[in-house]
Structure formats: structure tokens, C-alpha cells
Amino acid sequence: MVSYKEILASNALINDSATALRVAVFVGGTSGIGKFTIQALVATGIRVKIYLVGRKSSRERTQAFIEELHTLNPKAEVIWTEAEVALLADVKRVCELIQSNESRVDLLFLTAGYAPFGTRAETAEGHEVVQALEYYSRMLFILRLLPLLSASDAARVISVLGGGMETTHLIDLDDLDLKRPGNFRVYRARPQYIAMNTMTLDKLASENPDIAFIHSSPGAVNTGNVRRGWDANSIVGAVFSGLVEFLTWLIGFSDDESGQRHLFDSTSAAFGGRGMPWTGKAGITTTGKSAGGLFLVNNKCDCTPNAKVVGQLREKGQEKLWDHTQILLGPYL
Ligand SMILES: NC(=O)c1ccc[n+]([C@@H]2O[C@H](COP(=O)([O-])OP(=O)(O)OC[C@H]3O[C@@H](n4cnc5c(N)ncnc54)[C@H](OP(=O)(O)O)[C@@H]3O)[C@@H](O)[C@H]2O)c1
């Protein structure tokens, strides 16, 4: 475990000359872990431009947060960038906007999503909403912004979901979108979307060795996330959420610690060798290397390569998933 003291010491080294982080895109930074990480990043006092991508319904609430950030660090420019990120056409539009304004992106931080406890619901484009948020939209952001990420000296992509928790048991490689009757259940969808993230990130990481890819497992953080995925007025949902929130309050990370830990993931040389100097144990990718691959990073900021399972997923599902993803994302690329 990387202690909180070590995390804070590393983050305290971040300043304008020590970091190459100048342009960041946060998708999901209107609340929870993305928001806490933006706060920690801005509090370093560096000159940074942050595209905060969020949906219209959160615009008003987020304006107050942006004003707070500006007071905290007038050198940080936080740009509200409106998009319905569950819709791939809107992801395409917003990526084009960022592409037209920037020549590089140093950090892409992806957190939109929640556990789909309730009934299957689909976006106007026909994708299950949580799968759109946690997989298709995230991968589309990466693929569209790859040229800008490649133009950075030390680019990093972080997808926050469940890195290291991959399993081969509960996932269905013959029904990737869980459309068959009875197949869509939270205990299947959660591992399915985690495995899909890891398989595609693992492929993209191996093809883009100069970009550090991280799939983070954030542990328990009391963000209200557990309440999101239930059907309206579900009594089971209210009781379950209350119980989980109590446990999270007992054993979870505070907002601040979660933000600082994800800032460490975003900046430390522990993951790939570039970034804030790190003398502790170097992170290990899913292929056992210290750079040029995917880091599965847990809530304690340790790497959990889950090599056996990831190897099986790579062998059995990666190409199939890639073909499927390309067909689905093709119109938006
Ligand atoms: N918190 C935890 O303990 C925990 C544990 C394990 C895994 N995770 C996973 O880690 C990721 C980040 O978690 P978090 O707790 O930071 O999440 P969160 O605060 O509940 O939500 C993160 C973001 O998702 C966006 N979002 C939710 N539903 C949306 C929709 N239908 N359309 C567009 N945007 C939507 C939210 O936008 P709005 O602000 O507009 O609502 C927010 O920006 C999630 O995938 C979560 O499932 C979290």
C-alpha cells in the first residue's frame, strides 16, 4: 500500500516546472471521484487547463464549483464543456471541439457511470445506459483524443471502475451487450463492463506505449453513486444504498483522500516512469512490465496485474470485443 503520507508528499512536489500536465479532460468530474481529483489538481496551484465535460442538468450546480476552483487557484482555467456523454454522437462533437482548440491533451480522466441495479434502460442510440457511460463513451473519448494524447510528452488515460477485479466467470463474450433475455443483471453487467474496459485498454496500451493507461479500482467512496442505478422509488434500493453508505462511511476513503490518491495515479512516475519522482515499488502492467502497458491500480494505489485472468480474457475475448467495438464506434470515429 502506498501510504496517504507518501501520496501527499508526492502530490506536494507538483508545480509548474515539475509537471508536464497542462491540459486535462475530465469526463464525470461534475461529482464524486472526478470532482475530488479536479479539486486536488487545482489546489496544487499549477497553471492547467481543465475541460470539465458534463451534462446540461448539472451545469448550474457545477458553475459554483468552477467559481470555487478559480478562487482556489486563479492560474487554473476550468472550461465547462457541455455534453450528454451517454450519447456517442455528442462525445464525437465534444471531442471535435477539444481537437479544434488544443494541440495536445496530457490527462484524460474518465469516471461517468454507476452500478446498474435496476431495469435495463437504453439511450436514444440504443445502448444500455451504463454500458454507454462506462465502456463505449469512455473508449470513444480515448480513440478520438488519441492524436492529442500522442502529442503530449507524458500522457495518461485513467478509467475509474474496477481495475484488478476482472473475472472470467460472470462475463458473456457471446452477448457482449447483454441483450439476451435474462442476461442483464447487475451481477453480470458490473463484471462485464469491468472486463470490457480492461480488455480494450490493454490493447490500446500495448499499441500506444508512450501513453500510460490506468484502470483504477477506487474502493469505497461515499459519492452517492450507489443510489444512482435503482429504479425510481425502489424500497430495496433505498435500504441497500443506506446500508452500503453506512459501511462506506465506516471503512471507505474520505473525499479528500480519494481525490489525492487519484491525483497521485494521474501524476506519479510509479506508473510508467514519467511524472513525479517515485522511489517506491514501480508499478507493473498487465504484461509484467514497468512501462508501455495497462496498469490495474487498486484503491491503495498498488498495481494488481491480475495476470492470469487478463491473459485468459486477452486470449478468448480481446479481438472479438475489439471487432465489436469498432463496428459500434465506427460511425463516430
Ligand atoms: N464511489 C464508489 O465507491 C465506487 C466504487 C467502485 C466503482 N465506482 C465506479 O467509479 C466510477 C466513478 O464513481 P463516482 O462515485 O465518482 O461516481 P458519481 O459521482 O456517482 O458519478 C460520476 C459521474 O457520472 C455522471 N453520470 C451519472 N449518470 C449519468 C448519465 N446518465 N449521463 C451522463 N452522466 C452521468 C455524473 O454526472 P452528474 O453529476 O451530471 O450526475 C458524474 O459526473 C463509476 O463508474 C462508479 O460506478 C465507484
The verdict on the CB of residue 83 being under 6 Å from ligand 1 is no
From 160, 197, 247, the mutation candidate for ligand 1 (largest count of ligand atoms within 8 A of CB) is 160
Alpha carbons within 13 A on the beta-carbon side of 215: 32
Q: Where are the domains of the chain?
A: 4-332
Residue 309 CA to ligand 1 centre (angstroms):
26
The verdict on the CB of residue 299 being under 6 Å from ligand 1 is no
pLDDT at 170: 87
Rounded Cα distance between 262 and 268, Å, is 10
- The ligand 1 atom nearest the CA atom of 85: 33
CATH match of 4-332 with 3.40.50.2000: no
Grid cell listed for 313: 480474457
Question: Going by CA atoms, what residue is nearest to atom 47 of ligand 1?
Answer: 114
Rounded Cα distance between 103 and 95, Å, is 12
The verdict on the CB of residue 28 being under 6 Å from ligand 1 is yes
* Residue 199 burial (10 A CB sphere; 0-12, 13-18, 19+): buried
Rounded Cα distance between 30 and 27, Å, is 8
The verdict on the CB of residue 249 being under 6 Å from ligand 1 is no
The verdict on the CB of residue 220 being under 6 Å from ligand 1 is yes
The verdict on the CB of residue 161 being under 6 Å from ligand 1 is yes
One digit per residue, the tens of pLDDT, for the chain of length 333 reads: 999 999 999 999 999 999 999 999 999 999 999 999 999 999 999 999 999 999 999 999 999 999 999 999 999 999 999 999 999 999 999 999 999 999 999 999 999 999 999 999 999 999 999 999 999 999 999 999 999 999 999 999 999 999 999 999 889 999 999 999 999 999 999 999 999 999 999 999 999 999 999 999 999 999 999 999 899 899 999 999 999 999 999 999 999 999 999 999 999 999 999 999 999 999 999 999 999 999 999 999 999 999 999 999 999 999 999 999 999 999 999
Contacts of 283 (CB under 8 A, 6+ apart): 270, 271, 272, 290, 295, 297, 303
Asked if 159 and 112 count as a contact pair (C-beta separation under 8 A), the reply is no
Question: What per-residue string of b and e applies to 284-311 under the rule 16 or more CB within 10 Å gives b?
Answer: bbbbebbbbbbbbbbbebbbbbbeebbe
What is the DSSP code (8-state) at residue 132?
I
pLDDT at 304: 96
